[in-house]
Every structure is written in structure tokens, then in C-alpha cells.
Structure 1
């Protein structure tokens, strides 16, 4: 695969099946996602909410017509940092057939450029502690672990 030929675009509802498949196609994703046909209504509703929100973008990476990666970028205004905007990257996934070929790096670099275009001063993301290789991947792209993140599932 020639990474110079990878393109990026906003996802459409027709992409949702492939996106959910990619999210479910790894050890952690297989435990928290529910990929089946038809897709559960919760994915469709989530897509519709993301699509309707101008501060959310669900982006797919494509090689020709084939979707090979996905990420969600959320743009949030903050009172802190003098009222600046942040971009949060979530749900980054590369198709299993394309892992290790540079697609993940392209996704993150694209998101950083998009954050700059939107006037953000911080790009942030989280990675599961069960994915130490992902932490190393993000550090190689310039991210630093500056905060301890906490979650409460309700």
C-alpha cells in the first residue's frame, strides 16, 4: 500500500458497518462492541448525533474505495487556558489487514492538522492502560502523558 494514496473524509451512514467492525476487531474492542447484522440501533443513533454536531467529526481513512481506518475528533471550548479550544481524539482504529503500515500515524497527523485548522491549542487523547503499545505509538507522535485520567462508568 502506498500511504501517499490514503485519503480522509467524514464518514457517512453507509460507512457505519465497516466502522463498527473495525472497532470490534481487536482484543479489547471485541469485549465492548457488539458487531452483528443488523447493527444495533445504538450505533445508528450515535452516528446521527455525531453527524448533527458541528463540533464532532467521524473521519475515515480510505485507500481507494476501501475504508482502512477511523477516528472521532471532538472540538470543545474550555474556560481554562484563556478560553481556548481543544480537540479530543477517540476511537482510533486501523483495519486489521492494514496495521503496521503507517495508517495510524496518518490518522493522528490528519487529526492534528484538523485541530490546527479549527483553532485548537491542545490535542488530547486517552489510551487504555491495557494497550501499552498504543501509549508508545502516541509518544512517538509527540504526545506526552501529562495527566492521570479517570473514568466512572455509569
Structure 2
């Protein structure tokens, strides 16, 4: 693991990030690696927002993972700041290597540095292996999520 660098994503990382997002059954249905235009626009918004942290894991010049951490100041929980982990992806060749654990540890440490009192994440209901992974790292299934498509 010491040969892996976790660093902020750059615009040059967009194709590799989108490929990671599309590389599973769910992502294949909702991502479009052939048209990076919407991803470039989204990346520009992320870079301009200090509460957004999009990172990649790189080994030997190859992007092998990505994660987005969002910091959300709030009034609830006595004015607590929370973070949300999103878009965690590890290249299929690297799954089981410990990179996912390292990513989540990075996100928790970054959340502490940002003054967060709570780290939360969501995971698609069909990702049973991911649920076990997050529970093994100390996360508790505590809420039922809802989405409204616009």
C-alpha cells in the first residue's frame, strides 16, 4: 500500500474516474464514458467548491480508485458539521487489496481535519458486499434513504 498515492483529482483524471464509475452493473447503466462533457462541467463545479474533495488513488501512474468527500456544515446535532462519502470505486484488479479500507480511513481522517462530527455514506441497496465492508469498518446502517429523480 505504500506505493499508492491518494491525491486530489485533476482534470486529466476525468477519463479514468468516469471509467471507474462505469465499471460495474449499476454504473454501466448510468455513466457515459464516451461523452466526458458533463463530467468536465461537474469537475469545474467541484474544484470551485472548498467543501468538495474528489481524490484518486494512483499506483505507477495508473488511477486505480476514486472517492468524493463532501463537507456539510449544519444546524442539526448542535451545529455539527458532517461529511458524506460518495462515489467510492476501486479498479476491479485492485479489489481485495486493502485500497478500499485505506480510502475510507483517508476520508475519516480528512473529515476530522475539517472539524466534522459525523461521517455518513449511502450505498445502493443491491451492493450487499459493500454493506458488509462498511459495517466491518465501523459504519452502522441507521437510515432508510429516499431519492427523487429530477
Partner of 1:121: 117
**Moved beyond 4 Å, runs of 4+:** none
SS in 2 for 1:153: coil
Q: CA RMSD in A?
A: 0.9
What residue ranges of structure 2 are gaps of 5+ in the alignment? none
Note if 1:93 corresponds to 2:85.
no
Decide whether the 8 Å contact of 2:68 with 2:86 is kept in 1. yes
Take 1:148 and 1:78, find their aligned partners in 2: how far apart are those partners? Answer: 20
Partner of 2:65: 69
Q: How far off its partner does 1:76 sit?
A: 0.4
TM-score by structure 1 length? 0.94
TM-score by structure 2 length? 0.97
**Equivalent residue in structure 2 for 1:23, among 21, 24, 27:** 21
What residue ranges of structure 1 are gaps of 5+ in the alignment? none
Partner of 2:30: 32
Take 1:7 and 1:41, find their aligned partners in 2: how far apart are those partners? Answer: 27
Q: How far off its partner does 1:4 sit?
A: 2.3
More displaced stretch, 122-131 vs 55-64: 55-64
Partner of 2:8: 10
Alpha-carbon spacing, 1:71–1:80, altered in 2? closer, same or farther (3 Å)? same
Note if 1:149 corresponds to 2:122.
no
Take 1:23 and 1:73, find their aligned partners in 2: how far apart are those partners? Answer: 15
Q: How far off its partner does 1:143 sit?
A: 0.2
Partner of 1:52: 48
**Equivalent residue in structure 2 for 1:108, among 89, 92, 104:** 104
SS in 1 for 2:50: coil
Take 1:106 and 1:83, find their aligned partners in 2: how far apart are those partners? Answer: 29
